[in-house]
Amino acid sequence: MVLIGSTSFFPEPAREILRSINFETLDENWLNGMKQQHPDGEPQIKSLITQFNNFAYTYDDMNFTPPYLSSIKAQTLIIHGDRDPFFPVDIPVTSYNSIPNSYLWIAPNFGHRGFDNDPLWADTFTNVVTQFLSGEWND
């Protein structure tokens, strides 16, 4: 299993960001990227943003405590940017310390979705994930 920019709960800074996003104030580059990824266009993007906003007000949907995480049996690679505005680095570190047979890669100077705009990092990311999934990483 590969977890990228994942979290075990929504901390308050993430909830603030979730509440603040709306279609009308989206960055144009981000919106154009969303339009390329979502073929139904603006209605689909608005629906996704509504779902995104609703996470800010939900407190019982996701609460993966260390005991729950410790029950994961799959070999797991956790990838996280050290500049993620949603989820601070202590969250993936807790996941790493809780999930048996896990590996942790903290990517320097990257936020929540840093790899897709940098070809060098995209290649590094692809190589790391490919090596992990092919079984080249062993204890």
Together in a domain, 40 and 75 = no
pLDDT by residue (tens digit) across 59-87? Answer: 876 778 899 999 999 999 999 988 888 88
pLDDT by residue (tens digit) across 112-133? Answer: 766 556 667 778 888 999 999 9
d(CA 40, CA 106): 34
Together in a domain, 80 and 115 = yes
Domain containing residue 94: CATH number: 3.40.50.1820
Q: What is the pTM of this model?
A: 0.77
With beta carbons less than 8 A apart as the criterion, state whether 132 and 101 touch.
no
Residue 139 maps to a domain? no
Mean pLDDT computed over every residue of the chain: 86
Residue 38 maps to a domain? yes
Together in a domain, 71 and 103 = yes
Residue 110 maps to a domain? yes
**Number of C-alpha atoms within 13 angstroms, CB side, residue 64?**
16
Residue 29 maps to a domain? yes
- Give the residue numbers spanning the domain of 118: 2-8+67-133
pLDDT by residue (tens digit) across 89-116? Answer: 999 999 999 999 999 999 888 877 665 5
